[in-house]
Structures are given as C-alpha cells and as structure tokens.
C-alpha cells in the first residue's frame, strides 16, 4: 500500500518533470499561424517542425556552430581522459613522490568559479594568438576537464592490485606499455563515463564560448542559441524553441544511449 502510494507519487512527479519537454516539442512543431491560434498546451501535429528547425538552423545560425562544437566535444574530453589517466597512473602505479599533494593541486582547481580565469584567459589568448581559434578552445576545454578526469582515474586505478603492475614489470613491459596496454584497457568503463559526462558539459558550454571566440567558424553553438533567444523579435517563438531542440538532440541522444555511463560518471565524480 505504502509502496503503491510512493510509486504513484513518483510517477506524478516524473510527469510534471516532463511537462516542459512536452511544451517545447508541442510548440516547436507548430506553424506561426497555429502558434497564434491554438493554446500552447495543445499539440497539433508536426506541421511546422521542419520549417522551424530549418529557420533556426539557417537564419538562426545554429548550423555555423555545430561543426566546431562537435570537434570541441570530442577532442577535449578525449585529451582530458588521457592526460587525467596519465596523472592517475603516475600517482597510483608509479608512486609519484608527494603524489597526494599533486593530486590535491589538480583536483582543487575544480573549486574556483570559471569567472576567476575568464579575463586573464581573454587577455592571454589575444596575446598568444589563441583568441578565436579552435586550438585555443580545445585547450581550455581540455584544461577544465582534466581535474575531474584525474580524480576519477586516480580513484579507479587505486582499485587495481599492485601485482598486476609487478607482473607486467617482470614480463619486461616498459612503463608506457603498462599504461597503454594494461591500465587503460582495464579502465574502459571509467574512461567512457568521464568522456560522456565531459562531452556533455563542453557541448553545453556558453560562457567560455562567449568570452574566447567571435567568428562563426569557432563560436560554439550555445552562443548562437543565446543570440537567437535574445533577439526573438526577429524569430518567432516556435523557431527559438526549435533551435533549443536542435542543440539538445545530440546530448539527449548521448544520455539515452549511454545512460549507464552517464550516471556512473556522475556517481564517480562525487565519491
């Protein structure tokens, strides 16, 4: 009985939680005319969806940021996973001297708000010709992903027995081979979890994109959505919602396909 009530409560709450998604879909799919006539709560099919998405894609300039954002969301987490795993390997397997201190140095950098580095990064990037470049964006996105990656990988490697390392040494494996051929393959689940989570964060970033880029080739997609939103005098509400839908599809798809990794990453990051 109590269980049934709990179940009913959580289903009701879950439906409430999905309501904004429903509203978004229902209205992104309306033609401008339908949007003016029909209540926002009422879905009327998908007449306007394609047209709205096209408008957001082209006039809303969503198309321009997609390629660079995809590049950032793959390259940076990929690099960060390797760099973080190497640091974890150095600390756990190779017993870096004062390893815990260095680990704390890397991990503690997650505490500071990103606002703390924005302005020097902006100035430094202009000086170093990294401002408004894809390389510059990959670099900063990698940097902000490394601490989380190092945290998870260090904890993960701590669970691998010492004799695994020692047996490999006995077999004459070089240090980098032990890292590349043994430790990395053993930690696939953690690597994927970090990758999925960081890729989502980077895809969704606004602030760094806003600060460190300006041209269409480098500017990530969330800046375009933000611009579309604030100037929707020019674009209709269904178009803005369709824009929100387009940029959300990749991360929602990633989440649904990789939900186990996604949740594992969230859990690993806290403990």
Partner 1 sequence: MTLTTPAANPVTATAEDAAAVRRRPDTYRWSSRAFALPGLLVVAVMLYLPFLWTAYLSFTEFNGLGDPEWVGLAKYREMFADAGFLGSLGNTLLWVVGTLVLPVGLGLLIAVLAHGIKGSFWYRLPFLLPYAISGVAVGVIWTFILQTGGALSEALTFLHLPGQDLRWLLDAPLNTIVMIVAATWQGAGVNALLFGIGLQSIPKEPIEAARMDGASGWTMFRHVTWPMLAPLTTVVVGLSIVGSLKTFDIIWAMTKGGPGRSSETLALTMYKETFVSNDYGLGAAVAIFLTVITVAASLLYLRRQLSDAKEL
By beta-carbon proximity to partner 1, the closer residue of 71 and 160 is 160
Of the candidates 41, 45, 47, 216, which one interacts with partner 1 according to CB under 8 A?
A: 41
Of the candidates 33, 105, 135, 181, which one interacts with partner 1 according to CB under 8 A?
A: 105
Q: Give ∠ CA 40-41-44 in degrees, rounded to 5.
A: 80
Of the candidates 81, 198, 243, 261, which one interacts with partner 1 according to CB under 8 A?
A: 243
Name residues contacting partner 1, limited to 114-133 (CB under 8 A): 114-124
Q: Where do we find the tokens 């009985």?
A: 1
Give the total of residues touching partner 1 (CB under 8 A). Answer: 107
Name residues contacting partner 1, limited to 144-173 (CB under 8 A): 144, 146-147, 150-151, 154-155, 158-164, 166
* Residue 44 in contact with partner 1, rule: CB under 8 A: no
Nearest to 161 by CA among 180, 183, 176: 183
CA distance linking residue 32 with residue 29, whole number of Å: 10
Of the candidates 175, 180, 189, 192, which one interacts with partner 1 according to CB under 8 A?
A: 175
CA distance linking residue 130 with residue 27, whole number of Å: 40
Write the binding mask 194 to 213 for partner 1: x where contact by CB under 8 A, - elsewhere: ------x--xxxxx---x--
Write the binding mask 52 to 91 for partner 1: x where contact by CB under 8 A, - elsewhere: -------------------------------xx-xx-xxx
By beta-carbon proximity to partner 1, the closer residue of 144 and 194 is 144
Q: In the bound complex, what is the minimum distance in angstroms from residue 51's beta carbon to partner 1? A: 18
Q: In the bound complex, what is the minimum distance in angstroms from residue 257's beta carbon to partner 1? A: 11
30: left (phi over 0), alpha (psi -120 to 50) or beta: beta
Q: How far apart are the first and last CA of the chain?
A: 35
How deeply is 172 buried, as exposed, middle or buried, from its count of CB atoms within 10 A (0-12, 13-18, 19+)? exposed
In the numeric block, which tokens belong to residue 3? Answer: 């269980």
Contact by Cβ (8 Å): 65, 137: no
Helix (H, G, I), strand (E, B) or coil at 15: helix
């Amino acid at each position: 009985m109590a269980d049934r009530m709990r179940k009913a409560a959580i289903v009701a709450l879950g439906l409430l939680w999905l309501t904004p998604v429903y509203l978004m879909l229902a209205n992104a799919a309306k033609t401008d005319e339908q949007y003016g006539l029909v209540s926002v709560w009422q879905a009327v099919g998908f007449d306007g969806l394609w047209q709205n998405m096209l408008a957001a894609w082209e006039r809303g300039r969503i198309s321009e940021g997609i390629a660079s954002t995809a590049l950032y969301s793959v390259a940076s987490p990929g690099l960060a996973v390797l760099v973080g795993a190497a640091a974890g390997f150095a600390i756990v397997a190779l017993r870096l001297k004062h390893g815990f201190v260095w680990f704390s140095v890397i991990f503690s950098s997650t505490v500071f708000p990103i606002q703390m580095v924005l302005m020097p990064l902006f100035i430094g990037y202009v000086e170093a010709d990294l401002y408004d470049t894809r390389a510059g964006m990959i670099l900063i996105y990698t940097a902000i992903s490394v601490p989380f990656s190092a945290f998870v990988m260090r904890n993960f490697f701590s669970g691998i027995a010492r004799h695994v390392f020692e047996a490999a040494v006995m077999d004459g494996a070089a240090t980098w081979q032990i890292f590349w051929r043994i430790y990395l393959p053993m930690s696939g689940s953690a690597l994927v979890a970090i990758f999925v989570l960081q890729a989502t964060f980077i895809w969704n970033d606004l602030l760094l994109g806003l600060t460190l880029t300006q041209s269409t080739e480098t500017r990530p997609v969330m800046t375009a959505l933000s611009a579309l939103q604030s100037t929707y005098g020019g674009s209709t509400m269904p178009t803005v919602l369709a824009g929100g839908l387009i940029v959300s599809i990749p991360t929602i798809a990633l989440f649904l396909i990789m939900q186990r990794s996604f949740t594992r990453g969230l859990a690993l990051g806290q403990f």
